[in-house]
Homo-oligomer: A and B are copies of this chain.
């Protein structure tokens, strides 16, 4: 028997990817039996994987009612994005003007991969774009910051899948290039608003339009009742 927690990791990674790629959509039930059957593992292992995902808030476990893919509210989304803004700010403050040549090369390679996928229409470009931010965090040399960023990026992806518009990363590639350029030259004055606007464009715009749509939706739903009340 494979002893180590290798199995847990496999299921964890599989589910995580499925969630982030929106194969498993928010709200989907995740019964332990079914998943275990799929992966050829017992509930014990599946349970552990689900608990790991819950600790990243990618799945929601409610006592006695099982796990579902997390479905963050707009409020939670806004909280997440505001914290992410702050943490990304910390990251670039630590990196600005301090990148080694090797790091710059790594970042350029990352952007390269992103651009290629984007040009060829492959959907991985989203993952590459997200990874860019994770790589930045890792370059701070702070395991904690990297850990936080990993969670933040993961949850951001989930939320964008929920509320976002399809065209949410149109100009990501160029913006990432600009970010690296400023990081290299240490141009903090330009870097700071660049990152802020970049994230704002990708994240907040998505949920703001979602919020607008939601309001409109409610208004539409209420319209008939209002009319009835008026004519009564």
Residues of A participating in the B interface, judged by any CB pair closer than 8 Å: 3-5, 48, 51-52, 55, 63-64, 76, 79-80, 82-83, 86, 90, 142-145, 148
Contacts and interface: CB of A to CB of B under 8 A. Distances in A.
A79 B144 contact: yes
Contacts of A148: 83, 148
Given A48-B51, A51-B48, A90-B86, A80 B3 contact: no
A4 B64 contact: yes
9 contacts: A3-B63, A4-B63, A5-B63, A76-B143, A79-B143, A79-B144, A80-B144, A83-B145, A86-B90
Contacts of A63: 3-5
Contacts of A86: 90
Nearest to A86: B90
A71 to B, nearest CB: 16
B51 A83 contact: no
